[in-house]
Amino acid sequence: MILQGFAVLLFFQLLGELLVRASGLLVPGPVLGMALLLAFLLFRKGIAAPIRETSEGLLRYLPLLFVPAGVGLINHGVLLKQDFVVIAVTLVISTALTLAVTVLVLQGLKKLLGAKNA
């Protein structure tokens, strides 16, 4: 069952890669493949047991994927120290902008949906 689920996940990733390369979209292939998988699962109105079992198995080991990033941070500690102020300011500004845009979008959706429900 796990092999079937893994084959489905890889199929959608391959499909996403092929579509990106054929169309020249500026979206990573795996991201498009994941969106296609989501559309497929929504259309199907349920998750097949092999896909669920495989996905849960992969998610169980997801923290291991952060190890290389952590090692990279440790290896490049000197660079991070040199540019700490720039990185910190960038993170604060980008977080504030993200929050502001999120609030504006939610307010717009609230007005739009409130107008429809009234």
d(CA 27, CA 19): 10
pLDDT reported for residue 118: 56
Handedness of CA 105, 109, 115, 118 (dihedral sign): negative
Output Rg (C-alpha) for the chain, integer angstroms: 20
Residue 88: its pLDDT value, please?
Answer: 94
Quick count: other Cβ atoms within 10 Å of Cβ 6? 17
Give pLDDT tens digits for 16-75: 999 999 998 888 999 999 999 999 998 988 888 888 999 898 889 888 888 888 888 888
Q: For residues 3 and 25, what is the distance between their CA atoms, to the nearest angstrom?
A: 30
Residue 115 has pLDDT above 90, yes or no: no
| Sign of CA pseudo-dihedral 103, 108, 112, 115 | positive
- Predicted local distance difference test score (pLDDT) of residue 106: 94
Calpha distance 85→90 (Å, rounded): 8
Please report the pLDDT score of residue 69 as a whole number: 84
Any idea where the domains of the chain sit in the sequence? 1-60, 77-118
What's the residue count for the chain? Answer: 118
